[in-house]
Amino acid sequence: MSTVTFGIAPGSGEKLHKALGYSGAVRVGDRVETSGQAGVDDDLVIPESLEDEIIQAFDNVERTLATVGATWKDVIHVNSYHKVAPGDDAIGDDHNMVMAEQFRRRLDGRAPIWTETGVTALGLAAMRVEIRVTAIVGSANRTIASGDRIVATPD
């Protein structure tokens, strides 16, 4: 039977746990799921610039993963939610360019799957992005590059 461990990041994670009663991450065996992480600081303040907000959301994912012993390099799936105006037909390069840069910076060549969804509302009115991930702890050490693709090595 797998051990279940819940994680709550210091600062904003603790405040949201106290106010709304949820954890930031759960680890079952080697599998980790996070709740959506906003681009807020420890006082739940959202940066003015979209770029800073996305970077803060990535930082918050990192802090949340750490509470259950995982890192960005263990991430296998990313879901990102981006606020768009009703009727917009795409999320836009202003979001995509920063997301792609953060993937490159934090994943060291690993390319998880990514589902990007445009939404008209998020948890706080001023939020423009929220990111949640799935990770397998130690999976970064069990992959090898093979041509242009990543192939899992046998255990």
Q: Which domain holds residue 33?
A: 4-152
pLDDT the model gives residue 152: 52
pLDDT value of residue 142 = 62
pLDDT < 70 stretches in the chain: 142-155
DSSP secondary structure string for all residues of 77-89: EEEEEEE--TT-S
| Residue-level pLDDT at 88 | 86
Burial 34-44 (b: 16+ CB within 10 A, else e): bbbbbbbeeee
Structural domain count of the chain: 1
Q: What is the pLDDT of residue 143?
A: 54
* CATH code for position 36: 3.30.1330.40
Report the helix count and the strand count for the chain, using DSSP H and E: 3, 9
* Per-residue pLDDT at 109: 87
pLDDT at residue 140 in the model? 79
Res 155: pLDDT: 44
The predicted model scores a pTM of 0.89
Supply the pLDDT for residue 154.
Answer: 43
Q: What is the pLDDT of residue 6?
A: 97
